Amino acid sequence: MLVILMENQLLSPQAVCPGCPMADQSGQPRWQSGQLRCGRPLENRIQNGPAHQYECQMGFRIAEIRPSV
């Protein structure tokens, strides 16, 4: 599941991505094969945050959250 990381909150991509010109036809991030195609991987990720973080073309920080089993 993808989430958008803000300073003090998490947002769903459905709240932000539909207005982005880089979103897919359904207004979702271009997520394919475990990679964000409409952004770039971040090396300087948030401490104690998700391992896979990206910065989208609009400047938002996006993370992949995987449910713990």
Q: Where exactly are the structural domains of the chain?
A: 2-64
pLDDT value at residue 12 = 93
Distance, C-alpha 34 to centroid of its chain: 11
Residues 6+ apart with CB under 8 A from 41: 35, 52, 53, 54
pTM of the model: 0.77
Q: 3-state DSSP call for residue 17?
A: helix
Query: Mind listing the pLDDT tens digit for each residue in 6-23?
Result: 888 889 999 999 999 999
Query: Mind listing the pLDDT tens digit for each residue in 17-68?
Result: 999 999 999 999 999 988 899 999 987 666 666 778 899 989 999 988 877 7
pLDDT value at residue 20 = 93
